[in-house]
Each structure stands twice: as structure tokens, then as C-alpha cells.
Amino acid sequence: MNRREFLITSSAAGGLLLLPSCSTFMGFANGRMNIAAIGCGRRAQANIKAILSVADSANAQFSAVCDVDRKRALESAKMIEMHYEAQGYAHKIKVFTDSDELLENSWIDTVVISVPDFSHARVGIAAARRNKDIYIEKPLTYTIEEGQELVREVRKNKLILQTGTQQRSSLYFRRVCEIARNGLLGDLRKVDVYLPIDFGTGTPDPMPVPDNLNYEAWLGDAPFKEYTEQRVHPQADFSRPGWMQIEDYNHGMIANWGAHMLDIVQWGLGTEDSGPTMINATSTYEDRGLWDVHTKIVAENMYANGVTLHLHALEKGNREDAGIRFTGTEQWAFCGRGNFDSSNRELLRWEPGESDITLYKSTHHHRDFLDAIVSRRDPCSPVDVAHRSNSLCVLNAISAKLGREIRWNPKAERFIDDDMANRMLKDMRLRA
């Protein structure tokens, strides 16, 4: 018996829940869930560590990593191997630099996708077509049509997909959404979302491509641009990468923090299978060299039931003020990262009863994902919900790029009498 088996058996003897071997239900190789990390950058480090902290109790293990930057892949493999060595046993991690090559291996059961936003769909759809369960970083996809395709592939193959919108695993956000959904604020009238802004300057001067980076593979289907480190990611550390501020690769704060906050808006309104009918967004762009995403975005959205959604841009340095305020005819309630508030503080002590609406409860986003794989039920941030939340982000990005109001049919997932906007459902690099 190795240490992993000992830990699981000991937990059962101590009266804790004993999860059955995954092989009992799933036929996992070696009786364990083998996980691979695709993308080994900043967010990947956090995802890997979070899963390592709970993997033993789900009979799961990391067995492979992949990154087009071989240096990052090797560093992540070493980090995982050192984790297992500290637990008392050796476990060699296989290193890949090509995600398609990794996905061809049948012994890999589950993938954690933390590649840049514009590559989410390509890697996610490829993983779904090879029957891998998926943890994928937010925002779900770069375009709305990509999201639709990913939903189809995941559902067709009966897979588990968890999106990295981890605010759903926070008491603060869940409780305020339950307060809103149960009518404790009165009839909902307005939602205000407060988002941080992007700032700083990127240097566009071309540089030689590092030997450890397959830059052509990193670009994928994005337009070719000469390599510079601030276009891709730092070579010295895992700090914030430059691609997060370039429109060819992502949509800026509306899809960065917006992916989290607008997901909670959908949760609190009960519109997780729908969205607004009118979107009117405005972006502020500044001369920041290489970095060309908006610094600020403000918007008004309207839902069919008359609820309005307002986006506000915070000044830089005020990220602690980011969050969502639900306002009804009687009260308001606010939720942020690590805090909540209300015009009636007694509401914050409220807990739903048997006859009240209760929302999905998760206290650990990554453990919830592993539990969902074992049970074969949807996790707290499943693919359909994530697609609708991401669509809300992209809809506002489209309106801001077009510089005008747009009308949306959430059932058909098409714009109304707007050919240019509908073209942007597939290609967000179009210019009006």
C-alpha cells in the first residue's frame, strides 16, 4: 500500500467519507484519475496547487504537463514532482509541448486548461472530442460561436467541465445571490457591477524568440505579429503576462474580472440560460504602446423583465471595491471578494429555509470539480452556465467596439437586424 492508498483508507477509518476508487465507475488507468495541466503559466500555477491540495481524497494525481514554452512545462513538472516527494513517494511527470500530442494519450483522464484566452476554445474542444473531463480557466472562450461549439462537444460526449469562475464557491457571493433570488430585496430593479481598469505600457520592439518557446504554436490562429516578451509572457517569472492587455488575445477587463462579476449577475438574476436584450457599452482607449485593450468600460444592459445592469470602471488601485450590488424596491445587497454588505445588515445573517430557493453550494472550487467527475454530475460552474456568463462579457465587448447600442435575442443567440454584430459572434478581430 502506497501513501496515497494509506491516506484514503485512513480517512475512511476515521469516519470521513470514503470515495470509491474511480476505476469502479470510470475505468481510469491504474485505478486513479490521471490529470494533465495544459498551459503552465501564472493561473496554471494556482490551479495546479489548488488541485494538489485536494487530489488525494479524490484518488487523483497529476501525471503530465504541457506548454509551448518548454521551460515553463519543466518548471511545473518539477514543482509537482517535489510535492509528491514531500509526501514520501516518487511520481514522474511526463512533459509535453504539443497539446494535441498530449490529448492523444488514453491514460490521461482529465485536463486543466490554463492557456491564453484566445486558445481556450481550440484546446477545450480538442479535449472534449477526446473524451477528457475539463477544468478550464475563465473566460470560457474568445468568441460566442466558440462557446456554442464547446457546449455542444461537452454535452454530446457527456463530460464534466468546470470553469474557473471560483466566486461561485464563495459564501459571500452565494448568499447575496440567494437573498436576491428569494425576493428579500423586493422586486429587483438594478444591478451595478464595479470592475477594475487596465493600465501600464507595453513595448512593441521585436525581440529574438527564446529557444524554449514555440512562438508559432503560441500564436495559433491569431494574426502574426513579431515576437516581443511583453506580447506573450515573462521569461523570468510567472507575473501577469502581456497578452492580457492585447485585443488579439483577449477582451481586457470586461472578460477578465468581468467573467467573474457578470457570472454572479447571471446567478443572482436567475438568468443563467439567458441574457440581456439590449447592450450599450463604451470603452476608453489610451495610447499605451503594445497594449491596446480598453482601460475603462462603462455600459448599460437591459433584461427582458426590465432589470438594468450598469457597468462602472473603478480607478486603478481600488480593486478591493470590485463587486456587485443588487438593488430592489426595498433593499440593496453588495458582494465582493471577501465581504458583503446590505442596506439592512440583518439580511446578512439570513439563511434559506426548506421552502426557499437555495443555490449550489461549493466551498472549494477545485475539489468540487473532482467530486463532480466521480459522481458524474455537473459542478458549480458548468459549461452551459459559463457560456452564457461569458456571452454577457463578449456582448459588451462587441457593443463597445461598434460604439453603439445593440439588440440581442438571448434565445436564438443572435443580434436583431445587425449583420456586422452577428459577424463578430465568430470573429472578434473585425473592426467596424
Q: How confident is the model at residue 8 (pLDDT cuts 50, 70, 90)?
A: very low
Q: How far is CA 39 from the centre of its chain?
A: 14
161-194: buried (b, 16+ CB within 10 Å) or exposed (e) per residue? bbbbbbbbbbebbbbbbbbbbbebbeebeebbbb
Q: Identify the pLDDT of residue 197.
A: 95
Residue extents of the structural domains in the chain? 3-167, 170-359+383-432
Decide which of 3.30.465.10, 3.40.50.2000, 3.40.50.970, 3.40.50.720 is the CATH code for 3-167.
Answer: 3.40.50.720
Fold of 170-359+383-432: Dihydrodipicolinate Reductase; domain 2 (3.30.360)
84-136 pLDDT tens trace = 999 999 999 999 999 999 999 999 999 999 999 999 999 999 999 999 999 99
32-63 pLDDT tens trace = 999 999 999 999 999 999 999 999 988 999 99
User: How far is CA 379 from each of CA 86, 178, 229, 277, 390, rounded to the nearest angstrom?
Assistant: 30, 18, 36, 28, 17
**CA pair distance 187, 329, nearest whole angstrom:** 5
* pTM of the predicted protein model: 0.93
CB count within 10 Å of CB 37 equals 28
**CA pair distance 303, 369, nearest whole angstrom:** 31
The pLDDT of residue 380 is above 80: yes
**CA pair distance 235, 95, nearest whole angstrom:** 18
**CA pair distance 52, 83, nearest whole angstrom:** 8
281-315: buried (b, 16+ CB within 10 Å) or exposed (e) per residue? bbbeeeeeebbbbbbbbbbbbbbeeebbbebebbe
The residue type found at 123 is: V
Range from 22-31, 68-77, 298-307 carrying the lowest mean pLDDT: 22-31
Task: List the Cα angle 96/102/108 in 5-degree steps.
Answer: 120
